[in-house]
Amino acid sequence: GNSVTQMEGPVTLSEEAFLTINCTYTATGYPSLFWYVQYPGEGLQLLLKATKADDKGSNKGFEATYRKETTSFHLEKGSVQVSDSAVYFCALGTASKLTFGTGTRLQVTL
Amino acid sequence: DVKVTQSSRYLVKRTGEKVFLECVQDMDHENMFWYRQDPGLGLRLIYFSYDVKMKEKGDIPEGYSVSREKKERFSLILESASTNQTSMYLCASSPRVTANTEAFFGQGTRLTVV
């Protein structure tokens, strides 16, 4: 079956540090890949997505590249802000549903 | 602005009670989903529905049922609540599914069963 593996959190960074959150997946067929973000007290919202191999999704300074050869979709940001503190979920989408990773909590401090 | 609304942010229920969690979307989406979110486990799919009166089991349907009598409304039912069903419940909706379809989430209902 389909599955998504994310790095364990929490990740604690100082403001303006570089962020990488690793995500790898197992899937049959050709899934789409997503990053969702959950701010405190809120539901999930889409951060970015990529629909085929070598696509790069980007939004709000975050980016991730769909790497079929390594089955990965790592999230990166060059300079994090305190307001980026949240839980980040990697997910893969097939024709019928989304499968989520366990989430990675990011804490950014001044 | 798209919206998925869950009827309660917080609920406290007693063991053995029948519990209804309600979700309404205003986007005319065909698909609706119920997930539960637990620390270290991420989001796990309980049930989903791709049309009125249609439902499909997700990964953890035991102890739950669902109802979709109208397109905009999807209800999750705990037939006899137990303490291991204490969790955050998230409802989501999406248009008719293709692999790259975005899902829209409600704010969640934190259910405590005592």
Alpha-carbon distance of B17 to A50, in angstroms, equals 43
Q: Which residues are CB-neighbours of B47 under 8 A, at least 6 positions away?
A: B33, B34, B55, B56, B57, B58, B61, B64, B65, B66, B76
Q: Which among A43, A51, A97 has the least Cβ separation from residue B105?
A: A43
pLDDT score for A42: 86
pLDDT score for B2: 67
**Average pLDDT in the B58-68 region?**
96
* A7 band by pLDDT with thresholds 50, 70 and 90: confident
Q: Which of A102, A104, A105 to mutate to test the interface with B (most CBs of B within 10 A)?
A: A102
pLDDT score for B99: 61
Say whether pLDDT at B97 is over 70: no
pLDDT score for A59: 96
* A101 band by pLDDT with thresholds 50, 70 and 90: very high
The most confident of the ranges A61-65, A92-96, A99-103, B100-104 is: A61-65
Which residues of chain A are at the B interface, by a Cβ-Cβ cutoff of 8 Å?
A: 6, 30-32, 34, 36, 41-46, 49, 51, 89, 93-103
Q: Which residues are CB-neighbours of A1 under 8 A, at least 6 positions away?
A: none
pLDDT score for B40: 85
pLDDT digits (tens, 9 = 90+) for B7-57: 999 999 999 999 999 999 999 999 999 999 998 888 999 999 989 989 999
Contact B99 A30 (CB under 8 A): yes
What residues of chain B lie within 8 A of the CB of A96, using their CB?
48, 56, 97
Contact A32 B99 (CB under 8 A): yes
* DSSP state letter for A67: B
Q: Which of B105, B107, B109 to mutate to test the interface with A (most CBs of A within 10 A)?
A: B105
Three-state SS at A23: strand
Nearest 10 degrees: Cα torsion B21, B22, B23, B26: -170
pLDDT score for B98: 60
Nearest 10 degrees: Cα torsion A85, A45, A29, A24: 10
Tokens 């669902």 identify what position? Answer: B66
Q: Which among B35, B41, B102 has the least Cβ separation from residue A49?
A: B102
Cβ count within 10 A of residue A75 = 24
* DSSP state letter for A82: G
Report the percentage of chain A scoring pLDDT > 90. Answer: 78
Q: Which among A31, A41, A43 has the least Cβ separation from residue B99?
A: A31
Exposed e or buried b per residue across B4-41, where buried means at least 16 C-beta atoms within 10 angstroms of its C-beta: bebeeeebebeeeeebebebbbeeebbbbbbbbbeeee
pLDDT score for B6: 96
Say whether pLDDT at B101 is over 80: no
pLDDT score for B100: 67
Angle at A29 between CA A37 and CA A91, to 5 degrees: 10
* A94 band by pLDDT with thresholds 50, 70 and 90: confident
Answer yes or no: are the C-beta atoms of A58 and A7 closer than 8 Å.
no
Alpha-carbon distance of B67 to A85, in angstroms, equals 36
SS3 percent helix, strand, coil of chain B, rounded to 5, is 5, 55, 45
